[in-house]
Amino acid sequence: MGLFRNGFSLFVVVCSMAVVASGSFYQDFDLTWGDRRAKIFNGGQLLSLSLDKVSGSGFQSKKEYLFGRIDMQLKLVAGNSAGTVTAYYLSSQGATHDEIDFEFLGNLSGDPYILHTNVFTQGKGNREQQFYLWFDPTRNFHTYSIIWKPQHIIFLVDNIPIRVFKNAESIGVPFPKSQPMRIYSSLWNADDWATRGGLVKTDWTKAPFTAYYRNFKASACTWSYGASSCGSNSSSAFSDGAWKTSELDAPGRRRLRWVQKYFMIYNYCTDLKRFPQGPPPECK
């Protein structure tokens, strides 16, 4: 438990480890927009989002988290998904929000999806890395994970690390470590930019476009305001030590190098046209 001052208010923060495994989407998430285009079925074990010409859809977690590991299995929009974006991310609120992004950019049938990642700190992003996947993400479910620790953020696909964003506060780079975040996901039309920079538009004759979710798991610190407990899923007290043994091991580092060598297609750190004065400090 800790005390944080925010303006004239004093918040009492209760933080505990919560492990949610094979939970119910009814229990863990709210369908937030899209009317009936967002659905929970199979007894709460499966969730779908759909997009048509009228609207997309989305959901968000009931709880807020501050550090931990978030896993979700997704099966993306099949066929001609050009112009669509399936976003799955952690975010706080407000102009100076923090955010950790997976975005799946659709493409024409037979062309690969682009996995777009970004990290926002204090409202500022512009830290994009993009990847092709080494499988077809529309044929089966695959696991997309975020490990968020005070030391770093790791993006993983089927438990293979694809990106590490390290805490570089020591050289003046803000790091998301004080704002609790909810989990969000949405399926929406972005044909002004998503596919080949907006050259390929959404083919509405293929609508509705649908993405599926299952097997949500959070091993994370949940955040509560006031003196209430963190909820029935709390299993142990938050401990600083638990987060310090989280560096990638040698096989993890090799897999990270493999992904970045063969599947990374954009890295903001090497975009000299965008940063003619040199890359941002965290890249050095």
Instruction: Cite the active site residues.
Output: 99, 103
* Largest Cα span, the chain: 56
